[in-house]
Structure 1
Amino acid sequence: MIILQALVNGIVSGTLLAVPAIGFTAMFAVLRFPNFSVSGVATLGAFAGYLAYGVGLQMAGSLVVAFAVAGVAGLAFDKLAHLPLIKQGALPAAIASIATGIILENVVRLGFGNAPRGYDRPIARDVFLGDIRVSPQQLETMGLALLLMLLVFAALAFTRIGKAMRASADNPELAALKGIRPERIATLASFVGMGLVGVGGMLLGLDSSIDPLTGTRILLSLFAAAVLGGLGSVPGAVLGAFLIGMAEELSVLVVGSQYRAAVGFIAILVVLTLRPRGLLGERAY
């Protein structure tokens, strides 16, 4: 029964991790470099949502604020610091993104300090399914995450903008010949991807608490989820997030919580060794 509880906890963690993982892998698919500034953007989104919720906005409004603030900040850093370096290769842009992530983290630290903060949500009794326990807050945040994922999949499948993003990710040269402007698609991918990362930071904060290291703590798991599913694959990011979430929770039963972060390292090493393209392959939608 302990294993079942751990699996349920892993599903909860994986659901919340999937939202920023989608943003990360969508940006990689279009921009072609791993944007590690998602650590700082996730933290920024979590605190933006925290402030919006604190002044009286409802959950939906707070999520919109988190999305907008994170999207604008991420897009600004991409335009100013990351994309100008992409002509020199993915590595310089990736290194620059690490630096901007640290900058954002310390900006939040200067503004809010290091103390953890929690969203002021009503306390409710846990829901029991037999011996399995889930809190109503977890069910709510899972529902919000699943709704966002459905919206993303629907947008990619049925809207002109989504189809243009998919085309640009699959074959940028052919997409350009079809009249799709790569600069606009890159801008859109950066804004939406970072917005999803910010919303993901807020959802994770709703499940626990937030501090300046909120995004840094999930960075390895987020990257591992994207690599495991296949960098550039949106369904792969979701699958990878669920697998990483469950693996991390199960590892706590075996080796203790202090080694939980090692799961991400192991997943990356195994995938890069045995299947570098990930479970669902690169740029699979």
Structure 2
Amino acid sequence: MDIAAQLILNAIIAGAIYSLLALGFNLLYSTARFFDLGYGAMSVAGAYVAYTFYNLLDLSVPIAVLAGVLAAGTLGFVVEKLVYRPLRARKATHTVLLIASLGVLIVIQAVISIIFSSQFKILSKDVNLEPVFNVFGGAITQTQVIILVAALLIMVALALTLKYTLFGKAVNAIADDEEVARVVGVNSERVIGVVFFVGSAIGGAAGIATAFDSGIYPTIGLPLLLNGVIAFIVGGVGNVYGAVLGAFALAITENAAAWFLPGEWKFAIAFLVLIIFLIFRPQGILPK
């Protein structure tokens, strides 16, 4: 096996998952204007719902994935309506919303731990029997190919939705100036609610992809969140295309470093990339 080719393939797969995480987070931040730490909980909740449908109820993969994505989106919508919206109505500061979202993350992860235990779980049932393809000396599994294709389709669908639909125009209007958007007739609360559903569903898809690719545990929501946030900042806050570029830049850097450093350095490398960008290019790769 060609190590360089394998590292490139690993970077592409990681970049696809990071892209989904960054895109979902980008949607939430652009409209709600605060760092929603609870987003990580939506990702892991979607993954565990998919695990329940696929591994425990023995249903098909498409049904399990659809259930997980819808569950993550619904949970994000409910949390926005019951927790964040009342706080915003009371003119809560970004710090208050941040702390509230931390509480959401901790509570949901605790509930997942109680229901499923803290043991590591993976969605793939027959890992050793899964088809593996050789690409320029590197190996990629059938599941990883599906993850890449699904991530690409979600990216394209989101980009087209934001550019050509009324919903996308409403989202962009709120992201530019919520008060002006309200003046011209945009129902910002309704749009933000839908955004939380869509963004959380995308996060759930990323969590499910992670569960199929490398496995999950109840507290993996925070690492997933951090990867998405770092990619989001590196790519350029508020820029959809920048989020994708930031995700792949992060994945490539992590996997290149893995050639020389132990795996324990992964998060250190990610934060080093973030610090370098914050110092030398705080606007990110593609500023909005």
Q: If the TM-score is normalised by the length of the shorter chain, which range does it land in?
A: over 0.9
The answer as to whether partners of 2:5 and 2:136 remain within 8 angstroms in 1 is no
Query: Which residue among 224, 247, 254 is the counterpart of 1:248?
Result: 254
The separation in 1 between residues aligned to 2:125 and 2:154, in whole angstroms, is 21
User: Residue 88 of structure 1 aligns with which residue?
Assistant: 92
SS in 1 for 2:122: coil
The separation in 2 between residues aligned to 1:210 and 1:129, in whole angstroms, is 27
The separation in 2 between residues aligned to 1:121 and 1:234, in whole angstroms, is 34
Amino acid at match of 1:97: S
Q: Give the superposition deviation at 1:103.
A: 0.9
Answering whether residue 153 of structure 2 is matched by residue 147 of structure 1, we say yes
Q: Give the superposition deviation at 1:56.
A: 4.2
Query: Which residue among 246, 257, 275 is the counterpart of 2:263?
Result: 257
Amino acid at match of 1:2: I
Identical columns (%):
28
User: Residue 137 of structure 1 aligns with which residue?
Assistant: 143
Query: Which residue among 110, 115, 134 is the counterpart of 2:119?
Result: 115
User: Residue 277 of structure 2 aligns with which residue?
Assistant: 271
Q: Give the superposition deviation at 1:11.
A: 0.9
The answer as to whether partners of 1:24 and 1:226 remain within 8 angstroms in 2 is yes
Answering whether residue 68 of structure 2 is matched by residue 66 of structure 1, we say yes
The correspondence of residues 1-285 of structure 1 with structure 2, limited to 5 A, is: 1-54=2-55, 55-86=57-88, 87-122=91-126, 123-281=129-287, 284=288
Q: Give the superposition deviation at 1:121.
A: 4.2
The separation in 2 between residues aligned to 1:112 and 1:92, in whole angstroms, is 30
- Structure 2 spans left out of the alignment, 5+ residues: none
Deviations 1:31-90 (A, max 9, x none): 000111122111101001112223344333322211221112122222333343342321
Amino acid at match of 2:65: L
The separation in 1 between residues aligned to 2:152 and 2:11, in whole angstroms, is 15
Amino acid at match of 2:123: Y
Distance change (3 Å), C-alpha of 1:85 and 1:264: farther
The separation in 2 between residues aligned to 1:221 and 1:276, in whole angstroms, is 17
Amino acid at match of 1:181: N
Distance change (3 Å), C-alpha of 1:121 and 1:148: farther
The answer as to whether partners of 1:168 and 1:182 remain within 8 angstroms in 2 is yes
Question: What TM-score results when the alignment is normalised by the length of structure 2?
Answer: 0.92
**Count of aligned pairs:** 282
- Structure 1 spans left out of the alignment, 5+ residues: none
The separation in 2 between residues aligned to 1:103 and 1:180, in whole angstroms, is 33
The answer as to whether partners of 2:232 and 2:246 remain within 8 angstroms in 1 is yes
SS in 1 for 2:218: coil
The separation in 1 between residues aligned to 2:47 and 2:30, in whole angstroms, is 24
Question: What TM-score results when the alignment is normalised by the length of structure 1?
Answer: 0.93
The CA RMSD over aligned residues, in Å, is: 1.7
SS in 2 for 1:133: strand
